[in-house]
Amino acid sequence: MAGSIRQRKDRGANTWELSVFIGRDNHGCPKQRSVVFRGSKRAAERELARHADLDSDRAIDLPALLDVEE
């Protein structure tokens, strides 16, 4: 899974930050999407998997795009 999960105790009980890698920008720096989720850890893990599946379709492999003859 191309994502991470961490508990955010400063935002209350059962609050999780979900981060998903969505690709790289034009400079090669990694880009991530983060959302705050409220619920159990198991529900947060399912939500993370759902977000990772959604964003895997949108991830762009820039080296493959730059391999074009001019």
pLDDT at residue 12 greater than cutoff 50: yes
The confidence score (pLDDT) of residue 33 equals 87
Is pLDDT at 32 greater than 50 in this prediction? Answer: yes
Mapped onto helix, strand or coil, the DSSP state of residue 44 is helix
Mean pLDDT for the stretch of residues 50-59? 66
The predicted structure's pLDDT at residue 50: 87
Mean pLDDT, the chain, whole residue set: 78
- In terms of Cα–Cα distance, which of 5, 27, 7 is closest to 15? 7
| pTM exceeding 0.75 | no
Every domain of the chain and the residues it spans: 3-66
The yes-or-no verdict on residue 68 having pLDDT over 60 is no
